[in-house]
Amino acid sequence: MIIKVLGSGCPKCQQLAHNAELALKQLGLAAPVQKVQDIREIAKFRVMFTPALVVNDEVKSSGRIPEVSEIVSWLSTAAGQESA
């Protein structure tokens, strides 16, 4: 599973990365949370606002910090798709 946090590294970006790590921990999954700060790389995902969360190259949220429970839902769905 590939998880990316898109943004400048601001406090909101850091909080989103933290929430993603907490979600992984709750699910017992091991996956790195990549922090993408390069504007050209961020532009490839066509997000208008950061921070943004990307799971397996699919933008899950943009311009907000989703709750850990919401991220858990996305990650468990992604993990289920990988094992199918």
Strands (E) across 1-84 are located at: 3-6, 33-36, 52-55, 58-62
Question: Among 10, 34, 69, 77, which one carries the catalytic annotation?
Answer: 10
The question of whether 10 is a catalytic residue gets the answer yes
- What are the C-alpha distances in Å from 48 to residues 13, 21, 55, 84? 15, 24, 17, 32
The reply to whether 13 belongs to the active site is yes
**Looking at 3, 5, 6, 13, which residue is catalytic?**
13
Active-site residues: which are they?
Answer: 10, 13
